[in-house]
Amino acid sequence: MVVGDRVLFEPSGDEDTGLIREVLERQNYIIRRASNLSHESQIIAANIDQAMLICSLVKPRTLTGFIDRFLVAAESYRIPVTLVFNKTDLYGEKEKEQLEELMAIYSDAGYDVLHTSVPEHRNLDLFKEKLKEKTTLLSGNSGVGKSSLINAVEPSLHLKTKPVSDYHKTGKHTTTYSEMFPLGFGGYIIDTPGIRGFGLVEIEKNEIYHFFPEIFRHSKECEYYNCTHTHEPGCAVRKAVEEGKIAVTRYNSYLDLFFDEEKKYR
């Protein structure tokens, strides 16, 4: 059984005790590779309506390769994603510029984007609005503020948070296992420990581009039907990259996944 599973529960009288008779079929689930060496995979959560990838440009910085890999995994599971750039109160001029660029890249690609700051209460109402009546998985590197964002919209939960500077000392995540919480304003939220990445267990190399929405869109104009968008003449994807219609970082993430079979599982 995993977080988000729905079960048939038979109460055995008083209190909250009883028996789980059956785990109901999962609408969807997200997998993580247990480790780089192991080929076993582990289900992180099930029955998710949407995922939010919490990112930051400082303390810690979320890399675009990490974002793109997450998005590919979510696309493959058909789970809609909102990208939330948090900690904007800490951004300098350079990061503010990067934030604008990144928000444009990902919203052009077709993703929902949002920027937030917990101490400055920036856009927390919008964040909360997106959570209403849905089961949401919050994901992202350790220290980006997942638990803090949940506490901000549902203070009664008192989730544990910890300054990023303390991470280096212990090397541990503050949130250590996935847990689902009901939200007072409707819906459920799943807090997860900072993850390194999702496994893309069922994606064929030649289908990876299907999971980059903007690359997929342009691929329809490629000369060859089996174009891999790596070297072929008449490739509309490479042309779009040259013309700035597809972000170079997105295309590079595609190439990384395409050429590095092993990396994509991390």
Ligand X SMILES: Nc1nc2c(ncn2[C@@H]2O[C@H](COP(=O)(O)OP(=O)(O)OP(=O)(O)O)[C@@H](O)[C@H]2O)c(=O)[nH]1
Residue ranges that bind Mg ion, judged by CB under 5 A? 146-147, 174-175
The correct pick among 76, 174, 178, 253 for binding ligand X (CB under 6 A) is: 174
**By CB under 6 A, residue 62 contacts ligand X:** no
Burial of 5 (0-12, 13-18, 19+ CB in 10 A): middle
Region of 12-20, 155-163, 181-189, 254-262 interacting with ligand X (CB under 6 A):
155-163
Residues 156, 148: Cα–Cα separation, whole Å: 12
Residues in 206-265 that interact with Zn ion by CB under 5 A: 222, 227, 229, 235, 237
Q: Which amino acid is at 48?
A: I
The correct pick among 105, 136, 143, 199 for binding ligand X (CB under 6 A) is: 143
Let me know: does 237 contact 210? Beta carbons within 8 Å.
no
Query: Which C-beta is closer to Mg ion: that of 47 or that of 147?
Result: 147
**By CB under 6 A, residue 163 contacts ligand X:** yes
**By CB under 6 A, residue 118 contacts ligand X:** yes
With CB under 6 A, what is the number of residues at the site for ligand X?
24
Q: Residue 235 binds which one of Zn ion, Mg ion, ligand X, none, with CB within 5 to 8 A depending on kind?
A: Zn ion
Q: How far is the CB of 158 from ligand X (least distance, A)?
A: 12
The correct pick among 173, 210, 217, 245 for binding ligand X (CB under 6 A) is: 173
The correct pick among 64, 135, 136, 142 for binding ligand X (CB under 6 A) is: 142
* Closest-CA residue to 112 (of 27, 183, 199, 213): 213
Region of 69-77, 98-106, 171-179, 237-245 interacting with ligand X (CB under 6 A):
171-179
The correct pick among 62, 76, 136, 147 for binding ligand X (CB under 6 A) is: 147
Applying CB under 5 A, which residues contact Zn ion? 222, 227, 229, 235, 237
Applying CB under 6 A, which residues contact ligand X? 86-87, 89-90, 117-119, 140, 142-148, 161-164, 173-175, 193-194
